[in-house]
Amino acid sequence: MQTTISLVAASTYLLMLVGYFLPRLRWLHIPTMAAIIAFDVSVPFYLYTHRDWWHRLIEQEDIFSFLVWMHFGLFIAMYTLDVLQVLTAKKLLQGDPEARQEHRSQGKALLFVRGLVILTGATLANPE
């Protein structure tokens, strides 16, 4: 059960790859990417309400683990890139062609960072 969220996240990653390689299909690209961003924003709320954080981080002292902090840093970077993607997407939709290059490079960075967030999250998942 504990690893289910990692499996769901990995499937959303595959979906994100589809959205990434088909940007011209706006009807597919925009809702897919928006849904993935909404998913990423909801995951911390889900984990907070469904896991015993006090036990895991404090009693088991996982708060001192490098992997936990790496995961934390990565998902902060991911949210920052999500915000930047939405901002450049807004410019693209307003017809600003200069936003295209920025949106594309941020998209590559987001693919990389989100992949690492999912990997470090799966490594942290408690199989108990």
For residue 126, give the amino acid letter: N
Contact 10, 125 (CB under 8 A): no
Tell me the window of 2-10, 22-30, 38-46, 63-71 that interacts with ligand HEM (CB under 6 A).
22-30
Tell which one of 15, 23, 43, 84 touches ligand HEM (CB under 6 A). 23
Judged by CB under 6 A, which stretch of 40-48, 65-73, 103-111, 118-126 contacts ligand HEM? 103-111
Task: Indicate whether 30 belongs to the interface with ligand HEM (CB under 6 A).
Answer: yes
Q: Is the dihedral of CA 84, 86, 90, 95 positive or negative?
A: positive
Whether 76 contacts 115, CB under 8 Å: no
Measured distance CA(111)–CA(16) in Å, rounded: 8
Piece of 3-11, 40-48, 62-70, 88-96 that binds ligand HEM (CB under 6 A): 88-96
Token readout for 85 is: 């993607």
- Positions that interact with ligand HEM (CB under 6 A): 16, 20, 23-24, 26, 29-30, 33-34, 37, 85-86, 89, 92-93, 100, 103-104, 107, 110-111
